[in-house]
Amino acid sequence: MKKMACRKKVGIIGGGASGMAAAITAARLGAEVTILERNDRIGKKILVTGNGKCNLGNYHLTPSEYYGENPAFIEKALQRFNTEDTIAFFNSMGLLIKERNGYLYPACEQAAVVLDVLRYELQALGVTVITECKINSVAKDGKTGKIVVSDGVKQYHYDAVVLACGSKAAPKTGSDGSGYKLAKQLGHHIVPTVPALVQLKCREDYFKAVAGVRADAVIKIYDKGKCVAKERGELQLTEYGISGIPVFQISRVANYILRDNSEVLAEINFLSDMSEDTYKKFCEERRRTQKGRTAEEFFTGMLHKKIMALFLKMAGIKGNIPISEAEEEKMQQVFALCKKFRVHINGSNPYDNAQVCAGGVDTMELTEDMESCKMPGVFLAGELLDVDGKCGGYNLQWAWSSGTLAGRAAASGDIKG
Ligand SMILES: Cc1cc2nc3c(=O)[nH]c(=O)nc-3n(C[C@H](O)[C@H](O)[C@H](O)COP(=O)(O)OP(=O)(O)OC[C@H]3O[C@@H](n4cnc5c(N)ncnc54)[C@H](O)[C@@H]3O)c2cc1C
């Protein structure tokens, strides 16, 4: 009688981007794969990415786009599964990809289609998907060597398990931080987490007056007098503080400082392309040619009306006085505010509003195959780890890279028991 070849059983906890990448990779290598997902469907977070368009990667992939306490680990993983691999992975499932300034999107610009191709591939590979199954324990069976996971009702036994539960960011999509609890059960250390790629709140009470303003600006964050983060892009002023891509990018730095301090100083430069000298000449020229103007009229044309009105008020210049009567010192103060507008960040929006989470499972405790050094046979992937990227497709790239490496390694090796 012909003996049936035994297939390695791999359990994937979490059906997000990294879990699906792990499942597809493991199944393609011949493993019998099951995804255990707490939601009633897999891939909920993918649907909200890139404003529904899913920025799934970036041609300008370098380790410097990522944060985490172990940069060498991140670099190695990205070398082993890079942007070209992501494109090939999606092309192999029939998804056409387009590029805009290095940012990768599905050609159809629909995140739902990205999820569809992943789901169809899982189906074609015979991956079992069990939904509404929230795993709350993971352990090794001392006798069989199998990894046993449980939702408190049922136990599941696998030769290898991939923890791909995500972080605490956007918990409505399913990632409620329970992955950290599972990793702790294995003995892992969690690098403290903070919301990242999130809006920041400011102490100043004038934000209501400038809410809705969008402006190109450079924003810097200071810690103990030293600039620790700097970004340029479209800044948005809101009723409670600041938002927009440059704010998202620096939010993790601000939030880590806020763990030990009640406030963080941010400096915004609305005129980063204008030197002090050019400003002086600009003012002199205008003073000569626009003598009859009021202060408000004089300053019209430089920045958004609402910002200029605020800066005139802060400098103590009444909008209706003739510009010839404005003191030079106050004029310079307006310029100083345009170049160095200081605001005090005293919080951020919560995890509900954050796109990702900074911090997570300490990657010093993983092999380069994403295997737990605390419990071999368990692999960890995605945002659950202490790896977070900037805006631009880098977080999904991390999910595809780490998920693929984990799935590949989980599918190879011995069958237990
Ligand atoms: C609004 C928004 C927009 C974004 N846009 C982009 C973008 O355009 N480009 C980009 O690169 N990144 C973007 N991101 C970030 C990116 O989506 C995430 O980094 C990525 O999806 C993380 O994948 P993951 O598999 O690690 O986790 P998740 O996608 O969060 O998946 C984790 C899965 O595990 C399940 N789960 C959790 N705990 C358990 C448990 N105990 N048992 C069973 N199942 C469990 C969850 O329900 C979830 O399905 C965005 C994020 C948000 C919130």
Q: Which amino acid is at 391?
A: C
Q: How far is the CA of 46 from the centre of ligand 1 (A)?
A: 7
- In 29-150, alpha helices (H): 44-48, 71-80, 83-91, 111-124
**So what's the pLDDT on residue 4?**
53
Q: How far is residue 124's CA from residue 10's CA, in Å, rounded to a whole number?
A: 17
18 C-beta closer than 6 A to ligand 1:
yes
Task: Render pLDDT for 132-187 as a digit per residue (tens, 0 to 9).
Answer: 999 999 999 999 999 999 999 999 999 999 999 999 999 999 999 999 999 999 99
CA of 393 to the centre of ligand 1 (A): 13
User: Which residues of the chain carry a pLDDT beneath 70?
Assistant: 1-5, 416-417
* The pLDDT value given to residue 281: 87
pTM: 0.95
Q: Name the residue among 351, 400, 410 with its Cα closest to residue 198.
A: 351
Contact 110, 403 (CB under 8 A): no
User: Which amino acid, one-letter code, is at 8?
Assistant: K
User: Is residue 85 classed exposed, middle or buried when 0-12, 13-18 and 19+ CB atoms within 10 A define those classes?
Assistant: middle
Q: Which atom of ligand 1 is nearest to the CA of 18?
A: 25
Structure tokens belonging to residue 212: 């809705």
Centroid of ligand 1 to alpha carbon of 47 (angstroms): 10
Q: Is the CB–ligand 1 distance for residue 138 below 6 Å?
A: no
Q: Distances in Å between the alpha carbon of 138 and those of 241, 330, 353?
A: 42, 65, 29
> Which residue's entry shows tokens 């010839």?
324
- Cα 341 from chain centre: 26
Residue-range domain boundaries for the chain: 9-189+361-411, 199-348
Q: Does domain 9-189+361-411 have CATH number 3.50.50.60?
A: yes
Q: Helices (DSSP H) in 65-197: which residue ranges?
A: 71-80, 83-91, 111-124, 178-185
Tens of pLDDT, residues 255-284: 999 999 989 999 999 999 988 889 888 878
**pLDDT tens-digit readout, 185-200:** 999 999 999 999 999 9
How many residues would you count in the chain?
Answer: 417
Residue 58 Cβ < 6 Å to ligand 1: no
Can you tell me the distance from the alpha carbon of 405 to that of 385, in angstroms, rounded to the nearest whole number?
Answer: 14
